[in-house]
Amino acid sequence: MGNIGNSGYVSLVQFSVDPDYTLIYLTNNDNTTALDVVEKSIEAILLNRPYVLFQESKETSLTQEEISNYVGTYLLDVGVSIRVKHENNKLYATSENDEFFELISIGNSKFHYKDLEWITLEFSNENEIQTITIQNIDNVFQGTKQ
């Protein structure tokens, strides 16, 4: 990744031998997060791996009962715990450094981090076991409520 000019323009060139492709990304925005999201998503598509497909979604409201079902600590398959808490009528999830991010409900037990739409969470309940699936740009993590 490199800057073009003084600031504000960012470029990224990605080469791959298997499969054989070259991708060139250019943006007139010096925020490299958006460029990273696009690059990793296209790479995942080309390599037939899971990826987050951005779709416009409307925030949905939740009942107090629904909110309370999600609250708790979830142990992920990579050995990391994610804590979901309810505060001021909103849901929050921890990151690895214990910083909380607001969760936005987009329906059917699916959420994304506020302002980080490429990080999605989906809760499910099968056979009395509550699980969570977290997907970011290029990783999928599974967890079970403790």
Q: Give residue-wise pLDDT tens across range 66-114.
A: 899 999 999 999 999 999 999 988 999 987 778 899 999 998 899 998 8
- Regarding whether 74 and 37 lie in a shared domain, the answer is no
Alpha carbon distances (Å) from 21 to 13, 29, 30, 77, 95:
11, 25, 25, 33, 34
Asked if omega into 50 is within 30° of 0 (cis), the reply is no
Q: How many domains does the chain have?
A: 2
- Regarding whether 119 and 76 lie in a shared domain, the answer is yes
Asked if residue 18 is part of any domain, the answer here is: yes
- Regarding whether 27 and 85 lie in a shared domain, the answer is no
Asked if residue 112 is part of any domain, the answer here is: yes
Task: Tell me, yes or no, if the pTM score tops 0.75.
Answer: no
Domain that holds residue 89: 64-145
Asked if residue 57 is part of any domain, the answer here is: no
